[in-house]
Amino acid sequence: MARGSTRPTSRDVAQAAGVSQAAVSLVLGDKWRGRVSEATAERVREAARDLGYRPNLAARNLRLGRTRTVLLVVPALTTEFFAGVYTGAARVAAEHGFGVVLYPSPEGIGPARDPFASAQAALDGVIASSMAADALTAIRGEALPLVMLDSDPTGSLGAATVNLDIADGVRQVVEHLLSLGHRRFLHLAADVPSWTFEVRARELAARLAGVPGTSVRTARAPISIEGAVAATEAALSVPGPRPTALVCDDDKLAAGAYKAARRLGLRIPDDVSVTGVDDLALATAIDPELTTVRLDAELFGERGMQALLAVLEGRSPEGGDIPVHLLVRGSTAPPA
């Protein structure tokens, strides 16, 4: 074959040495003793050197079932939050000689449903957000060692779960707004069937149920600016006493709520206070800056990868939810 035209294969080595491909595999895998002669082994090694052949380590790892590769399954990448999760997971993975492949769960258009010819053969494990759990079946990821993020620990598909303390984040938001004097609330809820959003709704209702004189209405919206604008505008236009505080399931919904409030001639925070969850970059880009619950995305990814390493090694992962913190900014004030 012409040198440099294509990468030499084990078949080329076998032809040059006058042996079978099986013999080449035995010799280059250092398993030839007692199976081929010393002279044949030397002939194979010499042919490999002449051709510049290097074994395909990736292919060999596939056969061994240890690729040191992990799949991170997340929702469609619409915010930087999951980029932070990936960064944290990849950092811990690299420290242990693993790589992380990012797989955004298809929504509308997206990557092929199965990123590998055989996910079980090509991966050592999976870390998946509960918001993207539907993709697991499509890629057969549920048959691999699996760690779930933001998932109900009592009914999780995974061998381990890693959660942020979202319930405590909601408690911090409610305590802050109650301390300012708010009693009429609107919950702008993410219209996504996910455990983490169920926790937010349940905790908000429970916290307010114990405070006399409070009320809460719910408006649902897809996680998009446009969806949040439409849902908020409709909810704030309903006859009767207007909510004085909008509790939004995430910062993108809060940004939409800002637009809706201004279209209705309402000032933030003078006429209505707004809170979010995530602490995305846009939280400090909008005016006034958003009071929001900071979720440490990179630490979330790190803990997810550490949990998967523990599962792979037969250890018990670290327990306990990851703490979250309310950042009070200019979007909240006492009601007028």
Mean pLDDT of 70-85: 82
CB under 8 Å, gap of 24 or more: what pairs does 31-36 form?
none
267-321 pLDDT, tens digit per residue, is 999 999 999 999 999 999 999 999 999 999 999 999 999 999 999 888 888 889 9
Measured in degrees and rounded to the nearest 5, phi and psi for residue 248 equal -100, 140
Does the pLDDT value for residue 9 go beyond 50? Answer: yes
221-276 pLDDT, tens digit per residue, is 998 899 999 999 999 999 999 999 999 999 999 999 999 999 999 999 999 999 99
Q: How confident is the model at residue 109 (pLDDT cuts 50, 70, 90)?
A: very low
Does the pLDDT value for residue 61 go beyond 60? Answer: no
What does the pLDDT read at residue 96? 87
Mean pLDDT of 146-169: 90
Cβ atoms of 246 and 260 closer than 8 Å? no
Q: How far is CA 290 from CA 233, 248, 331, in A?
A: 19, 11, 5
> What is the percent of the chain where pLDDT is above 90?
55
Does the pLDDT value for residue 110 go beyond 60? Answer: no
15-53 pLDDT, tens digit per residue, is 999 988 788 877 876 677 777 888 998 998 899 888 888
Q: Which DSSP string corresponds to 114-167?
A: -SSS-HHHH-SEEEEEGGGTHHHHHTTGGGS-EEEES--TTS-SSSEEE-B-HH
Q: Give the residues across from 101 on adjacent strands.
A: 71
Does the pLDDT value for residue 64 go beyond 60? Answer: no
Q: How confident is the model at residue 154 (pLDDT cuts 50, 70, 90)?
A: confident
